[in-house]
Amino acid sequence: MGVPVGKIQQRVKELHEFNPMLGFRGCRLGLVYPEIMIPLVGFKKELDLQAEVVHRVAKEVMAAQKVKLTYSVGTMIEIPRAR
């Protein structure tokens, strides 16, 4: 990924929480990193298909509104069957 190990270790330290059940996830994650979150992904193909929809619609909306938005698409895998 081209990111120095020290930078990753520092970021992990910054994101550490005393109670991981309250964790840095969900809406908290979205506040710090504006991201379109695809829920309940079990397989990479599911995320890929949903990301295609998100990118297509975002492109259509930006063209129609004549704006440029920066966004990320991601998922938080929290189900045991995920591969």
Tens digit of pLDDT for each residue in 3-45? 899 998 998 888 777 666 566 676 777 777 778 888 888 888 9
- Mean pLDDT for 57-78 is 91
Alpha helices in the chain (DSSP H): 5-15, 26-32, 44-65
Contact (Cβ atoms closer than 8 angstroms) between residue 39 and residue 82: no
Which of 80, 9, 12, 82 is CA-nearest to residue 45? 82
Tally the C-alpha atoms within 13 A of residue 68's C-alpha that lie toward its C-beta.
Answer: 0
- Mean pLDDT for 37-56 is 92
Paired residues of 36 in beta bridges:
73
Q: Give the predicted TM-score (pTM) of the model.
A: 0.62
